[in-house]
């Protein structure tokens, strides 16, 4: 049985609720929570309190057994040590879900952790959804359930709307909710998961995505505990064109990364999470403030057709600032066509500007809001404009009313900046107090609008190919590192072109191999103990002629003998003409599994540290755009970059390495470096695999 199979509907959309520990004292959390329930819930509500005949005017019940019905939701707020017994009795009495608000569980040392384990056990044993413990509850505007003490019963109920807020942290969740309300978000649901004895943020993500009222889900969580359910929810969000905004903080260095590949040392867990979000269409916010800013405009559900925005301000200075901010986040502020400039120019004073940013000048349209509406409407009608960021001085002005009306009427997103008294408008349209924040929110809409449709990434595993790869890897299986020649054989099997080369067991074979290859060659030691050959004197470059090949062969043998490095042979390769050096790699993130990287390669890879990252499995639709981001996006147009066929070949290598990673979990990491563009295409010139099954890693 899996937590996934629980229907959270019973808990979050209950018809009947009972609260154990309900109190008359409104200064306590229990009193606040019951008062919140009472003021909003239209269903049947029962307080359980053995010491009182009534609670807040409602008839109180002695215990879970004496309630007049089995309830959908039982809220528990009694001393931690009593909770498991209460839950057990609740199950016996047929109650169908439990929200445990009490604290004193895994956050409170070993005794608390034991209590929590009891709770988890009960939940799984009886198939009972339990939210918490140590959380502050939840709120559903849809079902009018205010099962929390986060809001004061005297405070206004948050405006209902299309945003679901999920926070693992309880106290901090209250802060997020408060910010969301003051930022003008319409709240459909708010849920804190606390210690997650059973139900996790990923479970809730999966639930919220399916709710028809919900368009935007914000997520704050210290960690993603169940990546598979998390990814499944993200996929559904993409499928339904809903938006998940994550402020999951940077995962710190304390997360030990045991991977030894060069790639892995360059990319941290934060990068892996970013790569997952990018691939799955999850929007990342850098702060709670930014999360609220993004949700404010996205809750309306509008999308951008492109990245071209119109800026309308009564101040040239603001226009310059906003154009600069637009440029910084990849939005364009295109000059308006002549005809449109003429149209808008007729409305504004001659010393304004109708180019875009449109500068209406400071006193414009005072007393004549129809002029302001004309300018806005002209911009909205303009074909080359996808969205508008207008700046308006006052929230209680006729101009602001024009903005409210037009944003409701137009399909183009509008992110208004109101510099003074914007709070008066915040529940009627998205409002930004800072020009830069408004522009960034518009860029977030652009990012969401550009998400590709959901697709399944087929790994296309061929059992024969996997078996063949395992046969190739068999001799290496007791080692940490795979021989270069073996690694390349496996890569070749997966369709990655590799350099022409031969393994020589003696000098004669080396001479013969060099003759077959022709031209200058490279000799490299093959040894399980020499993963980084160049640094260890295990490579001789640019060898020409039989005598030189023989000499190089002997030189390498002697060098290895001196170091007592056991050799499996010498690899003889054609000397490559180097122009651009790339690298493609793979490592395994502890949470999200195999990550495929690509970037500038060569001996300076630690310095260039240029890696784009895509989680595997991946397909060409993932890899193509990733390759295009190599070298800060300059790869496709710099003088010494890649041509279109090279770009495609690099993407194919990424996909191949991703397939390999999915097929062969025993390969812990892959480093192809360099991957060189040649006349016949990209070629893997060097490759290193590490194995998880190596004795040192076991």
> Is residue 165 within 8 Å of 141, Cβ to Cβ?
no
- CB neighbours of 390 closer than 8 A, spacing ≥ 6? 311, 312, 313, 376, 403, 414, 416, 417
Residue length, the chain?
A: 698
- Give the residue with the Cβ less far from a copy of itself, 58 or 332: 332
Q: Is 325 in the site for a copy of itself (CB under 8 A)?
A: yes
> Is residue 12 within 8 Å of 138, Cβ to Cβ?
yes
- Give the residue with the Cβ less far from a copy of itself, 378 or 435: 435
| Interface with a copy of itself (CB under 8 A), residue from 70, 144, 157, 172 | 172
Q: Is 132 in the site for a copy of itself (CB under 8 A)?
A: no
Q: Is 342 in the site for a copy of itself (CB under 8 A)?
A: no
Select from 45-53, 140-148, 604-612, 655-663 the region that touches a copy of itself (CB under 8 A): 604-612
- CB neighbours of 10 closer than 8 A, spacing ≥ 6? 72, 73, 96, 97, 129
DSSP assignment string, 113-181: HHHHHHHHHHHHHHT--EE-SS--EEEETTTTEEEESSS-TTSPPPPP-SEEEEES-HHHHHHHHHHHH
Select from 16-24, 317-325, 407-415, 451-459 the region that touches a copy of itself (CB under 8 A): 317-325
CB of 463 to a copy of itself, least distance (A): 40
| Interface with a copy of itself (CB under 8 A), residue from 382, 501, 610, 671 | 610
- Give the residue with the Cβ less far from a copy of itself, 608 or 693: 608
| Interface with a copy of itself (CB under 8 A), residue from 606, 695, 696, 698 | 606
Q: What are the helix (H) ranges across 450-565?
A: 463-473, 484-493, 507-517, 546-563
Exposed e or buried b for every residue in 296-329, given b needs 16+ CB within 10 A? bbbbbebbbeebbbbbbbbbeebbebbbebbeeb
| Interface with a copy of itself (CB under 8 A), residue from 639, 679, 680, 696 | 639
**Within positions 229 to 288, which residues make up the interface with a copy of itself, using CB under 8 A?**
247, 249-253, 286-288
Residue in 371, 328, 370, 323 with CA at minimum distance from that of residue 348: 371
- Give the residue with the Cβ less far from a copy of itself, 20 or 418: 418
Write the DSSP symbol of residue 256.
Answer: -
How far apart are the C-alpha atoms of 17 and 145, rounded to whole Å? 9
Question: What x-and-dash track marks residues 343-372 binding a copy of itself by CB under 8 A?
Answer: ------xxx---------xx----------
| Interface with a copy of itself (CB under 8 A), residue from 62, 239, 327, 450 | 327
How far apart are the C-alpha atoms of 160 and 213, rounded to whole Å? 10
For residue 563, count other CB atoms closer than 10 A to its CB: 13
| Interface with a copy of itself (CB under 8 A), residue from 14, 137, 170, 593 | 170
> Which residue do the tokens 């040192």 mark?
696
Write the DSSP symbol of residue 250.
Answer: P
Residue in 123, 153, 125 with CA at minimum distance from that of residue 137: 153
Residue in 6, 13, 11, 10 with CA at minimum distance from that of residue 203: 6
Q: Is 109 in the site for a copy of itself (CB under 8 A)?
A: yes
Select from 140-148, 226-234, 295-303, 311-319 the region that touches a copy of itself (CB under 8 A): 311-319
Question: What x-and-dash track marks residues 507-536 binding a copy of itself by CB under 8 A?
Answer: ----------------------------x-
| Interface with a copy of itself (CB under 8 A), residue from 76, 482, 499, 631 | 631
CB of 327 to a copy of itself, least distance (A): 6
Q: Is 179 in the site for a copy of itself (CB under 8 A)?
A: yes
Query: What is the chain's alpha carbon radius of gyration, rounded to the nearest angstrom?
Result: 31
The two tokens of residue 171 are: 């106290």
- Give the residue with the Cβ less far from a copy of itself, 359 or 622: 359
CB of 250 to a copy of itself, least distance (A): 3
Phi and psi dihedrals of 449, rounded to 5? -70, -20
| Interface with a copy of itself (CB under 8 A), residue from 139, 321, 570, 596 | 321
Q: Is 494 in the site for a copy of itself (CB under 8 A)?
A: no
**Within positions 450 to 489, which residues make up the interface with a copy of itself, using CB under 8 A?**
none
Residues 369, 370, 374: CA angle, nearest 5 degrees: 120
> Which residue do the tokens 């867990």 mark?
269
- Give the residue with the Cβ less far from a copy of itself, 346 or 603: 603
**Within positions 34 to 93, which residues make up the interface with a copy of itself, using CB under 8 A?**
none
Question: What x-and-dash track marks residues 400-439 binding a copy of itself by CB under 8 A?
Answer: -------------------xx------------xxxxx--
- Give the residue with the Cβ less far from a copy of itself, 248 or 498: 248
Residue in 667, 482, 654 with CA at minimum distance from that of residue 582: 654
- CB neighbours of 508 closer than 8 A, spacing ≥ 6? none
- Give the residue with the Cβ less far from a copy of itself, 24 or 434: 434
Q: Is 603 in the site for a copy of itself (CB under 8 A)?
A: yes
| Interface with a copy of itself (CB under 8 A), residue from 255, 258, 561, 609 | 609
């Amino acid at each position: 049985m899996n937590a996934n199979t629980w229907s959270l509907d019973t808990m979050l959309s209950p018809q009947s609720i009972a609260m154990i520990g309900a109190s008359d004292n409104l200064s306590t959390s229990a009193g606040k929570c019951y008062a919140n329930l009472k003021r909003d819930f239209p269903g049947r509500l029962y307080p359980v309190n053995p010491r009182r005949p009534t609670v807040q005017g409602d008839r109180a019940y002695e215990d879970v057994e004496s309630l007049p019905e089995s309830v959908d939701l039982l809220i528990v707020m009694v001393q931690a040590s009593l909770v498991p017994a209460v839950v057990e009795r609740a199950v016996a009495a047929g109650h169908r879900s439990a929200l445990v608000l009490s604290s004193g569980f895994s956050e409170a040392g070993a005794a608390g952790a034991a209590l929590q384990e009891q709770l988890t056990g009960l939940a799984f044993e009886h198939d009972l959804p339990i939210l918490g413990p140590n959380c502050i509850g939840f709120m559903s505007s849809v079902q009018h359930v205010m099962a929390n003490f986060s809001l004061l019963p005297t405070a206004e109920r948050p405006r209902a709307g299309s945003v679901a807020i999920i926070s693992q942290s309880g106290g901090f969740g209250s802060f997020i909710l408060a910010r969301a309300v003051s930022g003008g978000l319409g709240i459909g649901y708010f849920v804190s998961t606390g210690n997650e004895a059973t139900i996790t943020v990923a479970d809730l993500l999966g639930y919220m995505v399916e709710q028809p009222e919900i368009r935007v889900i914000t997520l704050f969580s210290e960690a993603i505990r169940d990546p598979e359910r998390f990814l499944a929810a993200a996929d559904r969000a993409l499928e339904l064109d809903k938006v998940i905004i994550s402020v999951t903080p940077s995962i710190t260095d304390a997360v030990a990364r045991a991977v030894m590949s060069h790639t892995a040392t360059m990319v941290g867990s934060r990068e892996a999470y970013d790569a997952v979000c990018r691939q799955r269409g999850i929007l990342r916010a850098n702060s709670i403030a930014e999360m609220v800013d993004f949700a404010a405009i996205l809750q309306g559900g509008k999308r951008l057709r492109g990245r071209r925005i119109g800026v309308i301000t009564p101040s040239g200075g603001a226009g310059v600032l906003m154009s600069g901010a637009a440029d910084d986040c990849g939005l364009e502020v295109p000059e308006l066509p002549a005809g449109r400039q003429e149209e808008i120019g007729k409305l504004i004073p001659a010393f304004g500007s109708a180019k875009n940013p449109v500068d209406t000048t400071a006193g414009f349209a005072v007393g004549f809001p129809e002029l302001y509406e004309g300018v806005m409407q002209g911009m909205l009608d303009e074909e080359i404009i996808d969205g508008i960021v207008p700046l308006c001085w006052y929230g209680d002005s006729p101009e602001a009313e024009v903005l409210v009306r037009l944003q409701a009427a137009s399909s183009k997103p509008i992110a208004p900046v109101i510099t003074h008294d914007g709070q008066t408008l915040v529940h009627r349209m998205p409002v930004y107090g800072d020009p830069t924040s408004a522009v960034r929110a518009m860029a977030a809409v652009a990012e969401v609008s550009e998400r590709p449709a959901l697709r399944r990434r087929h790994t296309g595993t061929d059992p024969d190919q996997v078996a063949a790869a395992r046969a190739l890897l068999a001799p290496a299986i007791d080692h940490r590192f795979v021989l270069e020649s073996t690694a390349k054989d496996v890569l070749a099997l997966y369709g990655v072109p590799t350099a022409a080369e031969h393994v020589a067991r003696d000098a004669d074979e080396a001479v013969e191999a060099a003759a077959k290859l022709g031209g200058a060659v490279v000799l490299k030691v093959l040894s399980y103990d020499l993963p980084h050959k160049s640094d260890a004197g295990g490579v001789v470059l640019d060898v020409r002629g039989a005598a030189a090949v023989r000499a190089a062969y002997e030189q390498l043998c002697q060098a290895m003998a001196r170091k007592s490095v056991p050799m499996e042979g010498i690899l003889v390769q054609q000397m490559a003409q180097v122009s651009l050096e790339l690298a493609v790699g793979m490592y395994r993130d502890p949470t999200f599994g195999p990550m495929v990287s690509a970037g500038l390669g060569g001996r300076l890879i630690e310095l260039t540290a240029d890696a784009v990252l895509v989680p595997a499995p991946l397909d060409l639709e993932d890899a193509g755009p990733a390759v295009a981001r190599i070298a800060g996006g300059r790869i496709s147009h710099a003088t010494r970059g890649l041509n279109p066929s090279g770009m495609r070949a690099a993407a194919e290598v990424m996909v191949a390495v991703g397939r390999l990673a999915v097929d062969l979990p025993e390969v812990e990491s892959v480093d192809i470096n360099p991957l060189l563009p040649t006349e016949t295409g990209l070629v893997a010139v060097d490759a290193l695999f590490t194995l998880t099954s190596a004795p040192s890693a076991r």
